[in-house]
Structure 1
């Protein structure tokens, strides 16, 4: 499977962190379709242009929860991976793939995103990166 660029949505309420994530993903050839900081804005962006994968912080602006955002997006068929300093123990939906812990290294973010996308497509990465904690076991 070729490493085609993915359309990604970032859900992050800290603007500087969101820009760092976007820059790191662009270095790996991906296209960020938007940055949301609340559940409502994330859903609106995903409905307007469905992403291949969503990277979602757990704590969002206005007291919103990334757990809620991930569940709502997963129910729409959009896979999510948490990118958080507070990784949840489980995803609660098969399309909530796993968690990349903050702080992250820009160089490792691309392989973690690619591995999460492979899992979302029903596959399993040959060598899952240590930076990505997957919520289900490999085959």
Structure 2
């Protein structure tokens, strides 16, 4: 059984996922480096599933945060190209509010990865200008496809789902 320290739920991306990922066109435009992705997910196993799928597609995972506080701190340290955001987070945090804060502070866009994609939640998330939505449960191919489309989308707030 995996146990996480209650005072430090965030965990960095696994080195094996970062180092063994093949390059399948996940490069950041004009930089020669893979796109850097931050995951905000409080379920350890779903976070690992997302990390594995994206690393296999050639993306660099900068880390996984379980709540608002860790997500904002991680984004400030790592400057990801895209954030994958759950709606309901650890410690009662709200993914929509976190995404809005990341957009305001750092100009970061997100793709919501959630079981909560109803019209009301989507409307509440509009100020975050999300680039897409992935509904749980998802397949790795669906996740990677939406991430690729989100990264390729213009900065006009286009929703790719």
What is the TM-score when the length of structure 1 is the normalising length?
0.82
Residues 85-111 of structure 1, C-alpha deviations (whole Å, 9 max, x = no match): 112323323632221111110122111
Q: Distance in 2 between matches of 1:123 and 1:63?
A: 27
Runs of 4+ in structure 1 over 4 Å off: none
Q: 1:18 to 1:115 in 2, by over 3 A?
A: same
Conserved in 1, the CA contact under 8 Å of 2:96 and 2:128?
Answer: no
Q: Secondary structure at the residue paired with 1:10?
A: strand
Q: How many residues align?
A: 126
Question: Among residues 31, 40, 44, which one is paired with 2:69 in the alignment?
Answer: 40
How many angstroms does 1:69 deviate by?
A: 0.8
Q: Which structure shows the bigger proportion of residues in helix conformation? A: 2
1:20 aligns with 2:49: yes
Moved more, 50-59 or 81-90: 81-90
Which of the numbers 127, 144, 148 marks the counterpart of 1:110?
144
Deviations 1:61-80 (A, max 9, x none): 01100011100011120111
- Structure 1 residue 120 displacement after superposition: 5.1
1:8-30 alpha-carbon deviations (Å, 9 max, x no partner): 00000000110011001011100
Runs of at least 5 residues in structure 2 that lack an aligned partner in the other structure = 1-24, 28-33
Does 1:101 pair with 2:131? no
2:122 is aligned, of 60, 69, 89, to 89
Equivalent pair of 1:95/1:120 in contact (CA under 8 Å):
no
Q: Which runs of 5+ in 1 are unaligned?
A: 134-139
Would you tell me which structure has more strand in proportion to its own residues? 1
TM-score (norm 2): 0.72
Q: CA contact under 8 A between 1:11 and 1:36: conserved in structure 2? A: yes
* RMSD of Structure 2 on Structure 1 (CA): 2.0
Distance in 2 between the 1:63 and 1:45 partners?
18
